[in-house]
Structure 1
Amino acid sequence: MPTRIFLVRHGATTLTAEDRFAGSSDVHLSDEGRQQVTHLAERLSGHDLDAVYASPMHRTIETATILAEPHGLEPTLEEGLREIDYGHWEEKSRSEVERDFAEEYAIWQEDPFTIAPKGGESGVNVLNRALPVIRRIVEAHRHRNVLVVSHKGTNRLVISSLLGFDVRGYRDRLDQSPAALSILDFMTDSRARLRLLNDVSHYEGIPDRILTDRLSSWWDRSGKA
């Protein structure tokens, strides 16, 4: 039996709705986000979870607490699961960043894995702290089910690395919608199989704008699927 990680992105926040860079900004879930997470909690209530882990930010702690409650568990907080720090872009909308930091944003768009906004983190930085946490969780809960609540960028970087994708393209080729569920099965702490990606079927009927959350300007230029 593999070790199964239920990897979840936190629910929507007010910054999600406004297409702003939340990153290291410690924002709370919106009412819509709580509704999304409540639906996911109902979906996962029948699964036997051995533990729940979360990034130590309000939006992830609240998400993890709602999801853990039916199982009688308390989330364990892991610093390494935090979201990317976007530096001086924090809480700005994507259009504001494209306008006010056009050259910096263009360079970052080409390689967000190794390039960081001024005062922020690159994807390399995030993966260097997040991946060891995931591997440690797998080792600590061999052959069990574990819930991990993190963030859009962090989840995509971890999935890309574990599956051997070109991590430089993580923003363009993978998405993580609010309160989305992905499932990874591990045979060892570094050999994983992706069983489910970015599933939001538990909150069908929530406004469509959440289901069409932007990936990047590259994706917009190429046309949405």
Structure 2
Amino acid sequence: MRLIFVRHGEPDYDNDCLTPNGIEQAKITAERLHNENIRAVYSSPMGRALKTASFTAQDHGLEVQPLEFMHEIDWGGRNGEPLEYDGHPWTLSHDLITGSPEYAKGDKWREHHFFKDNICIDYYDKIADASDKFLSVYGLKREGDMYRCVSPSDDTIAIFAHGGSGGALIAHLLSLPLPFVYASMPYGVCSVSIFDFTPLNGDLIVPRIELFNDMTHLGEVRKEKLRFEK
């Protein structure tokens, strides 16, 4: 099974939709994915992701299927308590890795107050749990940091979502610390990333990165500066 992840096009965050430039990006991305033989198109339920996904779905004769758990994450201190940078997880991830590297490995990041006291960790846990249930539909059962193939699938599916929810998904799929993904693996609007779950030797699968943050198809419409907002 192959999973294609696409971040939404250039957003109008205030109105949760795409800018005119973002619509052009989404159309070009659909052209980029035309030959990928996509069997199902999934999306965050938010407007900017659904609109981006709609062009690829239409090109493949499919309907967009919303995934509630891929809604963009929120962040901030628990119970209204103040948190550095208002809890912005990308900024805190950088500060955690550079200032407290002992917390950057394994699951130690969960113990640092940047995340322990940040509601974004609740969204990460929801995405991790829900994505395991979702992938089980495609015959993939989570075992520790890997997946067991209990029912082989050669489907290619596409998920359209966001910088935050997508980063949480990628961190879980690859068993990487969330701050590492946010700090070291940002990806731009309408970027294409592909993860391969094909068994190589036996039934246990280590997901492989086939492509990450590919924006070459966007050409002149690649204008937005890299940024992540709610």
3-state SS, counterpart of residue 60 of structure 1:
helix
In structure 2, the partner of 1:201 is 216
User: Residues 29 and 196 of structure 1: is their aligned pair in 2 closer, same or farther, counting only changes over 3 Å?
Assistant: same
Q: CA deviation at 1:116?
A: 5.8
Q: CA deviation at 1:193?
A: 0.8
User: Residues 135 and 185 of structure 1: is their aligned pair in 2 closer, same or farther, counting only changes over 3 Å?
Assistant: farther
In structure 1, the partner of 2:123 is 126
Q: CA deviation at 1:111?
A: 4.8
What does 1:126-165 align with in structure 2 at a 5 Å threshold?
Answer: 126-141=123-138, 142-165=153-176
Contact 2:71 2:161 in 1 (8 A): yes
Structure of higher CA gyration radius: 2
State the alpha-carbon separation in 2 of the partners of residues 150 and 175 from structure 1: 14
State the alpha-carbon separation in 1 of the partners of residues 214 and 76 from structure 2: 30
State the alpha-carbon separation in 1 of the partners of residues 116 and 74 from structure 2: 9
Q: CA deviation at 1:13?
A: 1.1
Q: Give the TM-score normalised by structure 1.
A: 0.72
Contact 1:155 1:176 in 2 (8 A): no
Aligned length: 188
- The answer to whether 1:37 aligns with 2:39 is no
Aligned-residue Cα RMSD (Å) equals: 3.0
Contact 1:184 1:194 in 2 (8 A): yes
2:55 to 43, 63, 66: 66
Q: CA deviation at 1:128?
A: 1.7
State the alpha-carbon separation in 1 of the partners of residues 76 and 87 from structure 2: 15
Q: CA deviation at 1:66?
A: 1.4
3-state SS, counterpart of residue 212 of structure 2:
strand
1:192 to 197, 201, 207: 207
Q: Give the TM-score normalised by structure 2.
A: 0.70
Contact 2:44 2:69 in 1 (8 A): yes
Contact 1:6 1:148 in 2 (8 A): yes
Gaps of 5+ in 2: 98-108, 139-152
What does 1:1-225 align with in structure 2 at a 5 Å threshold?
Answer: 3-15=1-13, 27-86=16-75, 104-105=84-85, 109=92, 110-111=95-96, 114=110, 115=114, 121-122=119-120, 124-141=121-138, 142-187=153-198, 191-207=206-222, 209-210=223-224, 212-214=225-227
State the alpha-carbon separation in 1 of the partners of residues 189 and 135 from structure 2: 24
Percent pairwise identity: 26
Provide, for residues 92-143 of structure 1, a one-character-per-residue CA deviation record: whole Å limited to 9, x for no partner.
xxxxxxxxx7x6218761459644699x732x32222223343334332322
Provide, for residues 174-214 of structure 1, a one-character-per-residue CA deviation record: whole Å limited to 9, x for no partner.
1120111100111479731111111111111125x43x515
Contact 1:81 1:129 in 2 (8 A): no
State the alpha-carbon separation in 1 of the partners of residues 157 and 175 from structure 2: 22
The amino acid across from 1:167 in the alignment is: L
Contact 1:136 1:189 in 2 (8 A): no
